[in-house]
Amino acid sequence: MNIGSRLAFLRDQRGLTQEELATSLGISRAALSHYEKNRREPDTETLGKVADLFQVSIDYLVGRTAHSTVTLDPEVRQFSDELELSDDQLLDNYALTIDGRKLTTEEARRFIAFVRAERNMNSL
């Protein structure tokens, strides 16, 4: 299943019209229609809203897993969302990894700087 099929399936499962779901997501009905027909792909913010609304993982939405459930329980998710990774103590206490290899402190700082720069550019 692709993103569009999963989105349409979830919407139908809840008995929502395209208009109702689009309003809930803060997008136009036409945009939702394009997503469901795989003419366009939703941006990451919209994917997050869909995942939260339907209580599924983004991995499920994009077809990386057939399991729809969110893997983090709400308390763990809230904790991870509130981490301030620039704090030296957190960098020392938590092993940040990519591709199974722990990031060095310098790599973690560059990663954080990249994310902040990207967020700054997107907010303009």
Q: Which domains does the chain have, with CATH numbers?
A: 3-61 (1.10.260.40), 83-122 (no CATH)
For CA atoms 59, 29, 41, 78, give the dihedral sign: negative
Asked if residue 40 lies in contact with residue 34, where contact means CB atoms within 8 angstroms, the answer is yes
pLDDT tens for the chain, residues 1 to 124: 789 999 999 999 999 999 999 999 999 999 999 999 999 999 989 999 999 899 888 888 988 877 776 556 677 667 766 666 555 666 667 777 888 888 887 888 788 778 888 888 877 6
Structure-token pair, residue 52: 């939260």
For the chain, how big is the Rg over CA atoms in Å? 17
User: Dmax of the chain from CA atoms?
Assistant: 49
